[in-house]
Structure 1
Amino acid sequence: MWREGVDIRILESNKRMIDVKVCWQGKDFFLTCVYGEPVQSERGDFWEKLSRIGLDRNHAWMLTGDFNELVDPSEKLGGAVRRDSSCREFRQMLTSCGLWEIKHIGYQYSWFGNRNDELVQCRLDRTVANSAWIELFPQAQTTYLQKICSDHSPLINSLMGMNWKSWAGFKYDKRWVHREGFTDLMARFWSQTAANTESSMMEKIASCRKEISQWKRRCKPSSAVRIQELQFRIDAATRQIPFNPQLLKDLRKELNHEYYQEEQFWSQKSRVTWFNEGDKNTKFFHATTKNRRAQNRIQKLIDDDGNEWLTDAQLGKVAEAYFRKLFASEDIGYQSIHEAQDLIKQGIRVVIGNGASTNIWKDPWISSKPAKGVLSTRMLPQGLHHSALNLSFVKDLIVDQGREWNLELLRSLFPEEVVSSISQIRLGACNTKDCFAWDYSLDGQYSVKSGYWVQMQVIRQERGIREVLQPSLSPIYHQIWSSDNPPKIQHFLWRCVSNCLSVAGNLYHRHLARDGACARCPNHVESVNHLLFTCSFARLVWAISPIPAPPGGEWTNFIYQNMYSLLISNQLYPYLGGISKVAPWLLWRLWKSRNDLIFKGKEVHAQEVVKRAIEDMEEWSMRQEKLSKPPPAPISGNRRAKWSPPHSSWVKCNVDGAWSKESLRCGIGWILRDHENQVLWLGARTLPMTSKALEVEIEGFRWAVLSLIRLNYRRIIFESDSQQTLNLIRGDMVNSHFSPIIQDIQQLLQRFEEVKLSFTFREGNGVTDRIAKESLSFQNYDPKLYSVLPDWVKSYVEAENCI
C-alpha cells in the first residue's frame, strides 16, 4: 500500500482518527489523520483526547483531515452566525498541543452545503503541525483541490519545497560576559581603538565582531559540553561512598548556572521576554525560536498579474514594487494621517532651529506630551497690544544670530510660566532649520512600538475607557506583580486569583470534562481554592511547610482571602525572614503535583512537594543575587583616566556640563590648555534648566566652539566625557531632539583650520567638571571668561598636571 522507502507503523485506529508513525527519507514523525465528531456537543471528548496525546508527544507531529470545526466564526460564509465561544474548545486544543497551521494555498472554504436554499461554506479541513515538524519540513504546504465528487475539497500535503539560501549572521550571546577572558578581551580592544580617531564607529564595531569571532573559535563558550560533564559528575556524586552532600550541592549549583546560561541564550534567540528570568523552560524558548524561524520565512510571493516568484532576488523585486505602489497612493496617505491625528498631536513637538517656520500661537513648540503653542499673554498696554499681535513666528523672539532668546521681550509679553518654558529651549541658529521630534523616544524618532504605547497607555487612559464588573482586586494584583518572584510565578498567581486554571471544576463548567471532582477528594469539586488550600493533600502540605497556619487556624473557602494572607505573610510573620518567600513556590508545586497525578499517574508525597518548593525558592534567590552583582570591571590599567597635553602647535579644549533634576539651573564650562599644560582661557556660564542632561553637554560644547572662534584659535582638540555628544557631532548617531544645535556645531567647526574630537573618561575631565559645577552658583546668565586662573579651580588644575 505504501511507497517503497516509506515505513508506516499504525499506533491507533478508530472512526475518528488514524494515528501512525512515519519514517520517510531518514526523517521520523507522527501523522494523525482526523475525521472530527459531526455532533457539536460530543466534540469536546475528541479534543480532550487529542490534548492528552499532545502532552506526551515531544517529537514532530502533523495532523490533517476534516476536523468538522472552525477556528473562529470568520471561517464560515452564509447560514446562521456562529458564536465565537462555540469555537473556543477547538482553539484551546490547538494551543495546548502547540499546533500551528502550515502554509495553505487554494480556496480555503473547503466544505459547502445547502441550508434553506442558501449556500453555506466553511473551512472544516486543514493541516496543522507542531514546531518540531515545521522545523523538519520548513517548506511544507497544503493545497486545496477542487470540489468535484464531494462536498469537501481534497487536501494534498506537500512536504518538500525549494531549498532556502542559508546564511550565518553574527549574533551577540549574553552568555559570553560570564565566560573567562571575554570582558578582558573587550576592555583591551576598546582601549586600543579609543585613540584611533580616523576609523568610524561602524568600522570599530566591525573589528570588534571579528575579535569576538576569533575568541569563539578558540574558547568554544557553548554551555552544552559543560552541562554534560556536570551531569556525569552529579550522577557519580550520588553513588559515591562516603556520601558528600556539600559536593553534590556545589555541583548542582554549578549546573544551575550553566542551565541559566543556556536559558539566557534561547530566551534571547526566541525574542520572548515574558519568561525573562527564573524559568528553566529552555524547551519553550527553543520551540518558540524554531516556530518564529519557520513563520518568518517567505516561501513565495504572487504579483498583481498572478505570477509566483520564489528566489530571493525575485521576492525582493515583488515586495519593492508592491510597497512603492502602496505608498504612492494619496488616498492611503491621507487616510493614515487622518486616523493618526490624536496620536501625532500627543507626541509631536517642533524643535526650534531659526524659528522662521514655527508659528508662536499655533504650532506645538513649548512644553511636551503634548507640546502646544503659546496660549496666553500678559495684560498689555494699548501700544504694545498691537505690536504683540504682529508677532507671528518664533524667530521674532530671538536675538544674537538666532542662538539666544530676547528675554526682555519675553518677560514683557508672556506670563512667568510661559517665559520659563520658553527659556528652557536651547535654540539652533539663524542658519539652521526647525524640525520635528517625537517626545516619547530618547532619540526623537517615531517608532510603531512607541506609537502603540502612547495610544494604549496615554490616549486610551485619558478617554477613560474602563468598565468595572466586580469589586476591585487591585490590592491582590499589586501584591502579585510587585512580589519578588519570576514572571512565570507571578503569572501563575494571577491565573489563580482570576480563576483561569484548568482545574476539573472549571473544565466541567465549560463542558470540557465529564467530571469536576478532585482526583484526591472525589466528594469535592476541584476548584482553584480547593486544589491549593482545602484539599486534604494541600492541607497536609501546608501543615508540614514553614508557613504558619492562617489566622483562625484553617484556610477559608475564599480564594481571595487565602491568597492575600499568603502574599503578605512576610508582614504577618516577620520572624520567618526569607523563608516566607516559599509560599508562592508551594502553590506552584501543588499545581505541578496535581498535573503529575492526572496526566502521568505519578503520586508525589507532601514532603517532596515542600522540599522541591524550597529548592525552587533557593535557586531563584541565587539567580537574583547573581544578577544583582555588577559586571566585572575592565582592567584599570586600560582606562585612560588622566588629562594629557596636545602636541605642539595644537591646543586642547575640555568641555563639560552640570545638570540635576532638583536644580532650577544648569551649568557649562570649558578650559583651554597648550602643549606645556599652560591654561590659556577658561569659560563658565549658567543656563536656564533644560529638560535633558545631554542637552547641557551639547550646549557646553557649542559655547566652547563659539568662544574659540572669537579668540581666533585655528588647530584645536575638543575633548569631552560625553560619548553621545561626540557621536552626534561626528554623525555616527541621530537625535531629532538636538538636530538644529548639532547642525550649528558642525557648521561652526568648519571655520577652524584643523579640528579633532576626543573622548576621555570622567576622571580625565575633572577640572571642567569643577568649572561647570561652580557656574551653578552664579547669580545671572551672563557668560564669564577668565585669562587668569580663579582661586576656586587652581588646586584642581595643579592636581591634574601632577598625575
Structure 2
Amino acid sequence: MKVHPHHGLMRSLKWDLAEAYREEEQYWKLRSKEKLLSEGDRNTKFFHGSVQRRRVQNRILSLFDDNEAEQFAEGSKGEIAVEYFRKMFTSSNPSLISEALEGMLPRVTENTFPRRPINKELMMDLNLKVSSLITAHGEWNVLKLNELVPPCDVTHIRFFPPEVSVADKSVWAYTKDGNYSVKSGNWVLTREADLMEVIPADLQAANKTKERVWKVSTSPKIRIFLWRVLSGALAVAVCLRRHGLNINPVCQLCNGSNETISHVLFDCHLAHNVWSITGLPLWSHGSPISIAERVDHLLNLMEKQDVDKEWREAIPWLLWGIWKARNSTLYAANTNSPYFVVATALADTKEWLQQNILSQQGTVLRNQRQMVGEKLWTKPAFGKIKCNIHTSWIKDSCHVGGAWIARNHAGDAIFHTRDAFLPMFNRLAAELHGILWCLRGLRDIHIVSCELWSDCGAAIDALRRPEVYPKYRSQLLKIQQVIRVMREVSFHLSSPKANALAREIACSVTRDGRFTSYLARGGPAWLHNRIEDERRGRR
C-alpha cells in the first residue's frame, strides 16, 4: 500500500513546531533580560544560560547576624534581613526633639526625596486628621499648625489650600496619585540603603565614568558596550570564573596572561597593535591601572582639541572593533589584521557621523514645520474670543504677578488686566492661581465663552489630568467650579513667543514693582504697536 504524504498537515505541524520554538525562545529571553541579540535568532540556549548566570550572581549565600555568626539557612537569612530593616525604620525615642533636628537645615525642596512634616511633639497623636487642621471657613488653622510643625513646614503647607469636600484618607507620599506601588517601595528601601552605604573612592570614580559614557557621541549599542566594560559584564574568562564557571583563565589569543577586560581591549597583542597604529597618547604597555581609569583617559582624549579629530571620534568604534575581532577569532576561527580593525572602525565612524548629522537636520526641519503654526499669535475663529494669560513667578522671593489680554476674531484687544498675588511656593501653583483669577475675571465681565492660552505646559496638563496632581486638588476643583457656570471654555498650550504680550504685562508686576491691579478696555498703550503687528500678522 502506497501512502502519500499529507502536505497540508505537514505544513501545519511545521508551523506549530516553529511557533513553539519561538515561544520558548521569547520566554527565556524575557527571563534573561538580554537585549543585545536580535529577535528571531535561535538563541534559546544562550538565554537559558543567561538566566542561570543571573541566578548564581544574585543569590545570597549567607548573612552575618548580630553576633557576627555566618548563617546559611534560608530561614535564618530571612530573620536577619527582617530584623535589619526593622531596626532601620524603628524610632530611637529621643527625649528631646532637638536631637532629631540636629544638623538639619530648614529648607523646602520640591523635586527631591519627599518626607512628612517634622512633628514638634514628643508623643504623636495617631488619630490626628487633616480635617482637624482646617478652620470652619475652609482655611488652614495656622495656630494649630504652629503648635505641631516647625515654621518652615507651616509655610510649605500653607502654599497648598485645603479642600474641605475631600474626605481624609491615608496616602503614600512617594507616588503622584498617593497609592502605594511595589516600585516606589523598592525605590525607598534602595535609596535608604544607598544613603547608609559608604562607597569607596575608586567605585565613585567608576560611577562618574559610567555617567560620562552615556554622553559619548556614538551608536547606542556601543554606549551599552562601554557601560558593560566598566561594569565587568563582558564574557571574558576572569569574569566567567567569578560567576562560577570553571574555565581556563588564560587568554586564548596570546596565552600571555589572564583574560581580563582590560587585557582584551588594551594589552593583548591584537589590541596593542591597534592602539599602536592610531598613535594616540596612551599609557605605557602593561601599566597596572584599572579599566575605569583607562576608559576615563580615552574619554578625556575625545575632548582634547589638539588630538586629531578623526582618531578622537573613532575611539568608541576602535574598542568595539577590538571586541568583535576577539570574538570572531575565538568562535569563528577568523584571522583579524589590526590594520583591518582600524580601517573598519574609521569607516564605521564616518558613516555613523554622516547619518547622525542627516538625522539631526531632518529632526530640526520637522520641528520647524510643526512650529510654524504655533510660533506666532493667530486670530481665533469668527465669533470666538481668545485670551492669553501668563503668570510671572520669581523663584527667590516667590513673588507672583499675573496678566491676561482678551482679543476677538478680528485681532482687536477688548480687555486686559494685571494683578499681584500672594507669594506662591512654585510656578505651577502660581499658574493655576492665575488661571482661576482669569476665569473669575472673565465671568465677572460676562465673557462666558473663550479660548484660554497659556505657555505653562504643566498647568495645561494639570487641567486635563487632575488626578495626576493631587497636591493641587483644591485649586483644580475651584477652577472646575468656575467653568461649570460658564458656557464654553477650552485650554490650549501656547508658545512663549505667541504669549509674549501677556508675559510682558505680567512681568511688569514682578520686574517693575507695578502692584496696583486694574481692568481696562483695549490693550495697554505701551504695547499698542505690538498688538497692531500681531493683528495684521506681521512677522
Q: TM-score, normalised by structure 1?
A: 0.46
SS in 1 for 2:307: helix
1:286-297 maps to which residues of 2 (within 5 A)?
none
Residues 437 and 736 in structure 1, CA contact (< 8 A), matched pair in contact too: no
Aligned to 1:556: 287
d(CA) in 2 for partners of 1:451, 1:731: 21
Match of 1:284 among 27, 30, 38: 38
Who is 2:330 aligned against? Answer: 598
- Give matches, 1:555-574, under 5 Å: 555-560=286-291, 562-570=294-302, 574=306
In structure 2, what is the Cα distance between the partners aligned to 1:138 and 1:420? Answer: 57
Alignment match, 1:654: 388
Q: 1:289 deviation in Å?
A: 13
1:620 to 1:678, Cα distance in 2 relative to 1, 3 A: closer
Question: Which residue is equivalent to 1:774?
Answer: 508
1:395 is matched with 134
**Structure 1 residue 715 displacement after superposition:** 3.2
Contact 1:655–1:719 at 8 Å: present in 2 too?
A: yes
Work out whether 1:738 is the aligned partner of 2:444.
no
State the Cα deviation string for residues 763-795 of structure 1 (Å, max 9, x = none).
544332222222223659775434575444444
One-letter code of the match for 1:482? R
1:482-513: CA deviation from partner (whole Å, max 9, x where unpaired): 13045543444454455554334555787846
The answer to whether structure 1 residue 482 and structure 2 residue 212 are counterparts is yes
Aligned to 1:748: 482
Question: Residues 704 and 430 from structure 1, CA distance in 2 versus in 1: closer, same or farther, beyond 3 angstroms?
Answer: farther
* Structure 2 Cα separation of the partners of residues 436 and 516 of structure 1: 57
Is 2:455 aligned against 1:701?
no
- 1:757 paired with 2:490, answer yes
Quick one: which amino acid aligns to residue 470 of structure 2? S
Query: Paired residue for 1:306?
Result: none
Give how far 1:284 is off.
2.3
1:82-121 counterparts in 2 under 5 A? Answer: none
Match of 1:135 in 2: 22
State the distance in 2 between where 1:6 and 1:622 align.
54
Going from structure 1 to structure 2, the CA distance change for 1:456 and 1:610 (only over 3 Å counts) comes to: farther
Bigger helix share: 2
Name the structure 1 match of 2:276: 543
Aligned 1:492-503 pairs, distance under 5 A: 492-497=225-230, 499-503=232-236
CA contact (8 A) 1:6 1:25 kept: no
**1:666–1:690: 8 Å Cα contact kept in structure 2?**
yes
Total equivalences in the alignment? 453
Query: Match for 1:715: what amino acid?
Result: V
Q: Does 1:719 pair with 2:452?
A: yes
User: Match for residue 27 of structure 1?
Assistant: 14
Counterparts of 1:584 and 1:478 in 2: how far apart (Å)? Answer: 18
Structure-1 separation of matches of 2:257 and 2:465: 70
* Cα separation, partners in 2 of 1:724 and 1:4, compared to 1, 3 Å: farther
**1:532 and 2:286 aligned:** no
| Distance in structure 2 (CA, Å) of the matches to 1:584 and 1:750 | 60
Tell me the residue number matched to 2:96.
Answer: none
Q: 1:603 deviation in Å?
A: 0.9
Partner of 1:670, secondary structure, is: strand
What are the Cα deviations for residues 398-440 of structure 1, in whole angstroms up to 9, with x where unaligned? 97x75xx8999999999864564345x2426666677887665
Read off the aligned partner of 2:209 and give its amino acid letter.
Answer: Q
More relative contact order in 1 or in 2 (CA 8 Å, sep 6+)?
2
Match of 1:575, SS state, is coil
Cα gap change, 1:771/1:394 in structure 2, threshold over 3 Å: closer, same or farther?
Answer: farther
Whole-Å Cα distance in 1 between the matches of residues 337 and 267 of structure 2?
17
Task: Report the equivalent of 1:613.
Answer: 345
Q: How does 1:640-651 map to 2 (within 5 A)?
A: 641-644=376-379
Q: 1:27-68, CA deviations, whole angstroms, 9 ceiling, x for partnerless residues?
A: 2899xxxxxxxxxxxxxxxxxxxxxxxxxxxxx6xxxxxxxx
Cα 1:598/1:274, change in 2 over 3 Å: closer
What is the rounded CA distance, in whole Å, between the counterparts of 1:510 and 1:758 in structure 2? 57
Quote the offset at 1:520 in angstroms.
3.3
Residues 1:493 and 1:373: Cα distance change in structure 2 (over 3 Å): closer
Q: Which residue among 369, 378, 383 is the counterpart of 1:634?
A: 369
Shift of residue 607, structure 1, vs aligned partner: 0.9
Quickly say closer, same or farther: Cα 1:500–1:6, change in 2 above 3 A. farther
**1:421 aligns to 2:152 (yes or no):** no
Determine the structure 1 residue equivalent to 2:70.
none
Tell me by how many angstroms 1:746 deviates.
1.5
Contact 1:726/1:757 (CA < 8 Å) preserved in 2? no
CA contact (8 A) 1:652 1:672 kept: yes
User: In 1, distance between residues paired with 2:515 and 2:469?
Assistant: 27
- With over 3 angstroms needed to count, the CA separation of the structure-2 counterparts of 1:437 and 1:274, relative to structure 1, is farther
Pairwise CA distance, 1:620: 4.3
Contact 1:657 1:697 in 2 (8 A): yes
Q: Which amino acid aligns with 2:320?
A: W
> What's the offset of the Cα at 1:24?
7.6
- Measure the CA separation in 2 of the matches of 1:675 and 1:532: 68
- Say if 1:452 and 1:289 are closer, same or farther in 2 by CA, change over 3 A: farther
- Residues 498 and 672 of structure 1: is their aligned pair in 2 closer, same or farther, counting only changes over 3 Å? closer
Identity rate of aligned residues, in percent?
Answer: 19
Aligned to 1:92: none
Q: The residue matched to 2:265 in structure 1 has which SS?
A: helix
Q: Counterparts in 2 of 1:210-289, with a 5 A limit?
A: 283-285=37-39
| CA spacing shift, 1:412–1:798, aligned 2, 3 Å | farther
- Secondary structure of residue in 1 paired with 2:403: strand
Aligned to 2:369, what secondary structure does the other structure show?
coil
- When residues 615 and 547 of structure 1 are mapped into structure 2, their CA distance, relative to the original with a 3 A threshold, is same
- Separation (CA, whole Å) in 2 of partners of 1:787 and 1:771: 14
Partner Cα distance (2:144, 2:257) in 1: 81
- Unaligned runs of 5+ residues in structure 1 are 8-22, 31-59, 61-131, 141-269, 276-280, 292-338, 344-365, 378-390
- Secondary structure of the residue aligned to 2:478 is helix
Q: In the alignment, which residue of structure 2 is the partner of 1:519?
A: 252
CA RMSD, Structure 1 to Structure 2 (Å): 5.1
Q: How far, CA to CA, are the matches of 1:531 and 1:776 in structure 2?
A: 62
Per-residue deviation, 1:604: 1.2
What is the distance in 1 between the residues matched to 2:219 and 2:26?
A: 37
Q: How far apart, in 2, do the equivalents of 1:734 and 1:138 lie?
A: 38
Does the C-alpha gap of structure 1 residues 636 and 540 become closer, same or farther in structure 2, counting only changes over 3 Å?
A: closer
Gaps of 5+ in 2: 46-84, 90-107, 122-129
Cα separation, partners in 2 of 1:750 and 1:29, compared to 1, 3 Å: closer
The one-letter amino acid of 1:395's match is: I
Q: Distance in 2 between matches of 1:789 and 1:714?
A: 17
Inter-CA distance 776–661: structure 2 relative to 1 (3 Å threshold): same
1:300-379 equivalence runs, <5 A: 369-373=113-117, 375=119
Q: CA deviation at 1:621?
A: 3.5
Q: Which amino acid aligns with 1:421?
A: H
**1:34 maps to which residue?**
none
Residues 197-246 of structure 1, C-alpha deviations (whole Å, 9 max, x = no match): xxxxxxxxxxxxxxxxxxxxxxxxxxxxxxxxxxxxxxxxxxxxxxxxxx
AA of the residue aligned to 1:669: A
Give the distance between the partners of 1:448 and 1:606, measured in 2 at CA: 52
Within 1, Cα distance between the matches of 2:153 and 2:244? 64
The amino acid of 2:114's aligned partner reads: P
For the Cα contact (< 8 Å) 2:117–2:153, is it kept in 1? no
